[in-house]
């Protein structure tokens, strides 16, 4: 048993999610203290509890301290197991962030999970980013991952549902190959007129084709009903992606252009992956080897490197004009 200071470096939910995932993979019990200590609402929120429960279900762990506002938990993993889970935080908490905690553990044994909450919410990747940016890198390494969006869910009502399934197996090294230039777009909405997804996608496509010269393929996902109202755009080119969320009063065209401008900036920056994917991939790099690069060493990446080292999974990081990760 060892102790992790949950307020260190990034000091948010990432520390908790990554700590319990590494605890499960390594078989090392861990206590996480001072959880989100410096956040406006410190301690555990429902989505953090849901992430811990997802990981606990994949390794038959015993947990203490799982309560709203709790600032300390103890996680004692058991044997990794293949299991079908259902997780519902009861809020619009981020489904992608819950899956981020569960996925590295599930890759060891296989299994499935159905998560209820928000598919596209603030301060989180969208579910489409997970499916079209993160997952393809892991699939190329040999992982079998299927992600199905059953319902879209937005803040504040949530109600989205996603089913993810992983087949057992050991992926190979994380390598980012050179790909033919091109862009993908997913424009989605729930409870809004169908022209919203069309306008979002058209604005994103026009900007990307103009600024990058890449042909774009767009998928429109318009849902008539559902528990909430909202929209989002996810865009990507290879292992670089960007997202934007709709909000009341913001024209659909601006949602599409916001995502597209962020992707253009990433594509014009050095590195093989975007700055957000760089930190999300670190646990897989540590476990399976490989290499990739990005343009900025983010606080999330620094935090992940620190935690991986604490658990005995060091990752090499060289930061000059280019930030290079290798293991």
Above 90 in pLDDT, residue 22? yes
Residue 165 pLDDT: 98
Q: How far apart are CA 114 and CA 11, in angstroms?
A: 28
Mean of the pLDDT values across residues 145-165? 96
Above 80 in pLDDT, residue 179? no
Q: What is the pTM of this model?
A: 0.97
pLDDT of 249-305, one tens digit each? 999 999 999 999 999 999 999 999 999 999 999 999 999 999 999 999 999 999 999
Catalytic site includes residue 300: yes
Tokens representing 126 are 């969208």
> Which CATH number is 2-176+272-326's, of 3.90.650.10, 3.65.10.20, 3.40.30.10, 2.60.120.380?
3.65.10.20
- Catalytic residue, chosen from 48, 132, 276, 300, is 300
Residue 225 pLDDT: 77
Q: What architecture is domain 183-267?
A: 2-Layer Sandwich (3.30)
Q: How far apart are CA 6 and CA 8, in angstroms?
A: 6
Q: How far apart are CA 146 and CA 126, in angstroms?
A: 16
Kindly indicate the confidence band of residue 228, based on its pLDDT and cuts at 50, 70 and 90: confident
pLDDT of 24-35, one tens digit each? 999 999 999 999
Residue 86 pLDDT: 98
Task: Name the packing angle between helices 299-310 and 13-26 (round to 10°).
Answer: 30
Domain boundaries, the chain: 2-176+272-326, 183-267
């Amino acid at each position: 048993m060892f102790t992790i200071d949950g307020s260190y470096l990034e000091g948010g939910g990432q520390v908790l999610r990554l700590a319990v995932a590494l605890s499960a993979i390594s078989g090392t019990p861990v206590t996480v203290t001072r959880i989100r200590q410096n956040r406006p609402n410190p301690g555990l929120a429902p989505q953090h509890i849901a992430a811990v429960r997802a990981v606990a279900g994949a390794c038959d762990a015993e947990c203490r301290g799982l309560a709203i506002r709790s600032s300390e938990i103890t996680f004692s993993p058991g044997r990794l197991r293949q299991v079908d889970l259902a997780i519902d935080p009861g809020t619009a908490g981020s489904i992608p962030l819950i899956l981020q905690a569960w996925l590295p553990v599930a890759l060891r044994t296989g299994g499935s999970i159905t998560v209820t909450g928000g598919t596209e919410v603030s301060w989180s990747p969208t579910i489409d980013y997970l499916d079209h940016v993160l997952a393809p890198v892991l699939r190329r390494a040999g992982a079998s991952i299927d992600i199905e969006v059953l319902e879209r869910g937005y803040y504040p009502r949530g109600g989205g549902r996603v089913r993810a399934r992983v087949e057992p197996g050991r992926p190979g090294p994380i390598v980012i190959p050179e790909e033919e230039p091109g862009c993908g777009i997913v424009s989605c909405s729930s409870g809004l007129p169908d022209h919203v997804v069309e306008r979002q996608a058209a604005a994103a496509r026009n900007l990307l084709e103009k600024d990058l010269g890449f042909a774009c393929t767009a998928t429109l996902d318009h849902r008539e009903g559902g528990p909430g109202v909202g929209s989002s755009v996810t865009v990507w080119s290879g292992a670089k992606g960007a997202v934007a969320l709709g909000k009341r009063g913001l024209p659909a065209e601006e949602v599409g252009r916001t995502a597209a401008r962020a992707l253009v900036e990433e594509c014009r920056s050095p590195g093989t992956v975007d700055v957000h994917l760089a930190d999300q991939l670190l646990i897989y790099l540590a476990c399976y080897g490989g290499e990739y690069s990005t343009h900025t060493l983010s606080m999330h990446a620094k935090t992940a490197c620190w935690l991986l080292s604490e658990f005995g999974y060091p990752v090499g990081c060289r930061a000059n004009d280019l930030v290079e990760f290798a293991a």
